[in-house]
Amino acid sequence: MKAVRTLETAASIGWNGTSLRAMLEANEEAFARTGRYAGVEALELKEREPILYEKIFSKLRGALVTARATAMNISASPIVKEIGELCFSVYTPEGDSIALSTGIIVHVHTMSDAIKYMIREDFENNPGIADGDIFINNDPHIGDVHNADVQTLVPIFHDDAIIGWAGGVTHEIDIGALTPGSVPVGPTSRFEDGIDVPALKCGANDTLFRDHELRCAKATRAPTFWKLDEKARIAGNHLIRRAVLELVEEIGLDTYKKAIREIIEEGRRSFLQRIKELTVPGRYRSTAFSTYGFSGEERLPAHARIDCIAHMPLEMTIERDGMLGLSMEGADKWGYHSMNCTPSGMQGAVWVVLSQLVVPNDKVNDGAYYGTRQYYPLGSWANPGDPSVSTGIAWLFLIPSFTSLVKHLSRAFQARGYLEDVIAPYGVTGNVFQGGGLDQYGAQSATTNFEFGCAGTGAGFCRDGLDFAAAVWNPEGDMGEVEIWETVEPFLYLGRRVKPNTAGPGKFRGGAGIESLKMAWNTPHYELQNINSGKAFENSGLWGGYPNATGYRKNLKRNNLAEVVAARKPYPVRDGDTAASEIDRCLTAELVQYDDHTVTLPHAFGERDLYLSVQNGGKGLGDPLERDPRSVAEDVATGFLSERFAKTTYGVVLTRANDDVDVDMEATAAERASMRATRRAEARPVSEWRKAQRERVLRGDMIEPVRRMYRSAMELSTAFADEFRAFHELPDDYTL
Ligand code: MN
């Protein structure tokens, strides 16, 4: 009888007999009406019992951090275990984040999108949401950044009503896409992006469905990592569920319900308050770019073979009440490549920047989301509005696009006087060593080497950036042990070193990157991609600081390493300064790929072929001619800067005695005075420069990728077209 009754009509799982969808709608209506989360007016619990209130938040936060630490040890994938590329969050029944763990905080709001999608699509009635259910999602059009980020969502029930959700994400090492690895460059539509789990129920009674497990094992080139990552996410979610239920047991359900609403509303208020404290209201504008060159790529469909520079204007507005507005008006159209991004992915990137720069220590949750207004034009790469669009390596556009947000916030902090919070923009993280083939065990395998989680950070207001420290998308980043990567990839590290000249120069320089030189070893066939920023600077540094170096590609195929080793001659462990390449000094090869072609499809590597992987530095702050000459000498002495740039970039004249590098102060002062004089002589009034640019624009004097970029942006946005014409004083009918 009981089984039959459940078939009649599913009982509502919301509070007070309502449906979950009704709860979500009521919440949204209350926010629209009052501007406050769930319409919460007074933070009663916080005011009445402040210690209990803080204890509740701390217990939730503690449970999430514990769940993450435990889950990291269940996973075996180096991306999760070594780099910590996972995070957990706990949500309200309606899918708003209350608290989150450390880790890739990108996903706090993407999982919120996924939960809300399931609620809006009435999952409550079909396929049903019950205690013990497990859901999975990796669809960026629903709520995610790219397919590689796989989410597990578990509802938390108390008696017969849902009281929340636990959610966890890991980044998979292979996603079964057209090309091997986790962030495929090669797909031109979503049908090639790899395994597709668009918010599905994949388990019940705390157990995964067998059909789901079997299906997934066949859909990725790294089934073992997939399986263990999934177990890690489920275990973390179950730990969180238990902690929430224990908390409810301790404080009572009514108090819990009240607390979670207040915590989010407090998150919203404190976000606005932080913005008001730290910044000056106004409008901040900047543009960033990302590039790839596929015009000669015959493996792609003809319509995808173009050289592209993407337009990424970002306007930030800060209102008097602290409301933060972000607009990408003027972004160009989405394209037949895998670097497009959905609004959910954009949200993820906004989150990761805001949680590091604006709310690093406060109650970080979806309250901050309610303190922002964001606009991503429909039809642009940032909001394609078409479910067939590929987003496989969304980060390749996403990362550069938000360099402007870092710049804007830093300008705003500086204007308010919070100099210690200023940071110059990061760089595009670095080269992605990615590919697949047969590994050293004779098995099918694929990899995305996450040592690019260790890039240099931007310079501070009165300090250099941190060297090989972290990546913007994972502030707890790590490069991982060489030996661990060597166990999963048929490549041996010949060396991993500081990469000279990667840091963006400035009065304070950016942090430096690293380089790894890797040799194919014990593989019958393996194909790898080069993925980095090579053709353009994505953005500038701050207040005269230079951008970090762009990346380059260097692969040596069919080289003479075997003979060099047999003859016991020195072999290279790095490339070092490209003008005095250690690789070139030691080796020759039949095919040397040394160029700015840094976004490629997979290409074959044979036994002992070499692959150089360069991770980028951060951007500089202030004029390099103002840098303390002794710091320049130290950078040269420690291998962060080549001696040749001390003079040309910094105007510093060095002296050498044995291994000691010293500064000739007098010659340096003279050199800097002469460089300043040259600058004055070469400088032109802005009005003249604008006139010359206007002539160029009128003549259409620009390379094809730039012409296509502006044409696309003008076609998509009347506002941008009007502004472009007005700025250059062009006729009303001007087009490109
Ligand atoms: Mn990811």
> pLDDT at position 76, please?
87
Return the minimum-mean-pLDDT range out of 29-43, 91-105, 143-157, 250-264: 91-105
Mean local confidence (pLDDT), 303-325: 97
CA 56, 61, 64 angle in degrees (round to 5)?
A: 130
**Ligand 1 centroid – CA 519 distance (Å):** 26
**Ligand 1 centroid – CA 404 distance (Å):** 21
**Ligand 1 centroid – CA 240 distance (Å):** 22
- Please, which residues have CB within 8 angstroms of residue 651's CB and are 6 or more apart in sequence? 624, 625, 668, 671, 672, 674, 675
**Ligand 1 centroid – CA 732 distance (Å):** 43
Parallel/antiparallel/unpaired status of strands 324-327 and 372-375: parallel
> pLDDT at position 313, please?
98
**Ligand 1 centroid – CA 673 distance (Å):** 48
Q: Of 121, 98, 93, nearest to 20 (Cα)?
A: 93
**Ligand 1 centroid – CA 107 distance (Å):** 9
Q: Of 85, 88, 229, nearest to 165 (Cα)?
A: 88
**Ligand 1 centroid – CA 104 distance (Å):** 8
Q: b vs e for 659-695, b when ≥16 Cβ sit within 10 Å of the residue's Cβ? A: eebebeeeebeebbeebeeeeeeeeeeeeeeeeeeee
**Ligand 1 centroid – CA 105 distance (Å):** 11
**Ligand 1 centroid – CA 78 distance (Å):** 14
Reported as type and span, the H/E element at residue 633 is helix 629-637
Mean local confidence (pLDDT), 183-208: 97
**Ligand 1 centroid – CA 149 distance (Å):** 5
**Ligand 1 centroid – CA 39 distance (Å):** 34
**Ligand 1 centroid – CA 682 distance (Å):** 45
**Ligand 1 centroid – CA 147 distance (Å):** 8
> pLDDT at position 84, please?
86
**Ligand 1 centroid – CA 143 distance (Å):** 13
pLDDT digits (tens, 9 = 90+) for 716-727: 999 999 999 999
Q: b vs e for 504-533, b when ≥16 Cβ sit within 10 Å of the residue's Cβ? A: bbbbbbbbbbbbbbbbbeebeebbbbbbbb
**Ligand 1 centroid – CA 352 distance (Å):** 12
**Ligand 1 centroid – CA 341 distance (Å):** 12
**Ligand 1 centroid – CA 705 distance (Å):** 28
pLDDT digits (tens, 9 = 90+) for 682-713: 999 999 999 999 999 999 999 999 999 999 99
Of all residues in the chain, the percent with pLDDT exceeding 70 is: 98
**Ligand 1 centroid – CA 366 distance (Å):** 20
pLDDT digits (tens, 9 = 90+) for 401-446: 999 999 999 999 999 999 999 999 999 989 999 999 999 999 999 9
**Ligand 1 centroid – CA 171 distance (Å):** 5
**Ligand 1 centroid – CA 188 distance (Å):** 19
d(CA 469, CA 455): 6
**Ligand 1 centroid – CA 647 distance (Å):** 41
Is 206 exposed, middle or buried (CB count within 10 Å of its CB: 0-12, 13-18, 19+)?
A: middle
**Ligand 1 centroid – CA 486 distance (Å):** 22
**Ligand 1 centroid – CA 476 distance (Å):** 14
> pLDDT at position 691, please?
96
| CA–CA distances in Å: residue 234 to residues 21, 66, 220, 697 | 25, 14, 19, 56
pLDDT digits (tens, 9 = 90+) for 641-661: 999 999 999 999 999 888 799
Give me 513's structure tokens: 């990157």
Mean local confidence (pLDDT), 75-81: 88
**Ligand 1 centroid – CA 232 distance (Å):** 16
pLDDT at 230 over 80: yes
pLDDT at 10 over 90: no
Neighbours of 385 (CB within 10 A): 14
Sign of CA dihedral 634, 639, 641, 643: positive
**Ligand 1 centroid – CA 494 distance (Å):** 28
Give me 476's structure tokens: 């707890």
**Ligand 1 centroid – CA 260 distance (Å):** 28
Mean local confidence (pLDDT), 79-107: 91
Mean local confidence (pLDDT), 566-577: 97
160 Rama class: left (phi>0) / alpha (psi -120 to 50) / beta: alpha
> pLDDT at position 478, please?
87
Omega cis (within 30) before 127: yes
> pLDDT at position 701, please?
95
Residue 308 in contact with residue 599, Cβ under 8 Å? no
pLDDT at 351 over 90: no
**Ligand 1 centroid – CA 335 distance (Å):** 20
**Ligand 1 centroid – CA 76 distance (Å):** 17
Give me 586's structure tokens: 């030691």
pLDDT at 9 over 60: no
> pLDDT at position 7, please?
52
**Ligand 1 centroid – CA 194 distance (Å):** 14
**Ligand 1 centroid – CA 144 distance (Å):** 9
**Ligand 1 centroid – CA 359 distance (Å):** 22
**Ligand 1 centroid – CA 173 distance (Å):** 9
**Ligand 1 centroid – CA 18 distance (Å):** 36
Residue 310 in contact with residue 709, Cβ under 8 Å? yes
**Ligand 1 centroid – CA 393 distance (Å):** 9
Parallel/antiparallel/unpaired status of strands 149-158 and 134-137: antiparallel
**Ligand 1 centroid – CA 697 distance (Å):** 39
pLDDT digits (tens, 9 = 90+) for 162-192: 999 999 999 999 999 999 999 999 999 999 9
Give me 147's structure tokens: 């397919």
Question: 590 falls in which pLDDT band (50, 70, 90)?
Answer: very high
| CA–CA distances in Å: residue 419 to residues 179, 270, 275, 511 | 45, 21, 15, 18
Question: 360 falls in which pLDDT band (50, 70, 90)?
Answer: confident
- Beta-sheet strands, E only, within 579-706: 589-595, 603-605, 610-614, 654-657, 660-663
First and final C-alpha spacing in the chain: 71
- DSSP conformational letter for 128: I
> pLDDT at position 2, please?
59
> pLDDT at position 169, please?
95
- pLDDT, greater one: 37 or 104: 37
**Ligand 1 centroid – CA 21 distance (Å):** 29
For every residue of 142-188, DSSP letters joined together read HH-SSTTEEEEEEEEEETTEEEEEEEEEEE-S----SSSSSS-S--S
**Ligand 1 centroid – CA 85 distance (Å):** 8
Of all residues in the chain, the percent with pLDDT exceeding 90 is: 91
pLDDT at 4 over 80: no
Mean local confidence (pLDDT), 137-154: 97
pLDDT digits (tens, 9 = 90+) for 362-397: 678 888 899 999 999 999 999 999 999 999 999 999
> pLDDT at position 3, please?
60
d(CA 106, CA 427): 18
**Ligand 1 centroid – CA 462 distance (Å):** 33
Mean local confidence (pLDDT), 72-88: 89
d(CA 450, CA 103): 14
| CA–CA distances in Å: residue 614 to residues 480, 554, 617, 680 | 15, 9, 10, 36
**Ligand 1 centroid – CA 63 distance (Å):** 23
**Ligand 1 centroid – CA 161 distance (Å):** 33
- Please, which residues have CB within 8 angstroms of residue 55's CB and are 6 or more apart in sequence? none
Mean local confidence (pLDDT), 500-526: 97
> pLDDT at position 99, please?
94
Sign of CA dihedral 540, 392, 229, 448: negative
Q: Of 684, 532, 527, 699, nearest to 616 (Cα)?
A: 532
Reported as type and span, the H/E element at residue 561 is helix 561-566
